[in-house]
Amino acid sequence: MRSRNGNFNFSLRLCTIILFNSLALSASEYLISYKYVVKDATLYNETLLVSKAMTKCEGNPQEEFILQNNSEENLKKLISKNPEEFLEYIHKLGLHVNHDEKTINLQNSYTTILTLKTTCFKVDFNDNFATIAPLK
């Protein structure tokens, strides 16, 4: 059925496509890596590196994660306000585990390193929350 001003369905589809593309293009891409080192049951080092991607990342967004946001545009500051939730999320993504154990003169020592290799994330900042999704 046609409306008086032309094909309404076509106009609606076109507006929807433009809206979704503008939302997808407004999201920023960030490179995030994480390293956690435990030596003899003591936290030795923890490093979270966040940088804005200089080139477009390839891949499709995977399971997204939502953080509460109070109009913050800096991803590293936003993550530092909610570290437990974000670290739990990247643990679910999968970390590379390297464990080394040595026994010398009946003395046991070990080192465990958890690593999230540099991964591209698509981040969309809104007024009340930020949506973070890894690209794979």
Mean per-residue pLDDT for 80-94? 89
CB-CB contact of 56 with 119 (8 Å)? no
pLDDT tens profile 41-69: 899 999 999 999 999 999 899 899 998 88
Q: How many CA atoms lie within 13 A of 78 on its CB side?
A: 22
Pairing of strands 28-39, 96-104: unpaired
The two structure tokens encoding residue 126: 């809104």
Q: Is the dihedral of CA 62, 66, 71, 73 positive or negative?
A: negative
CB-CB contact of 36 with 98 (8 Å)? no
Mean per-residue pLDDT for 87-95? 89
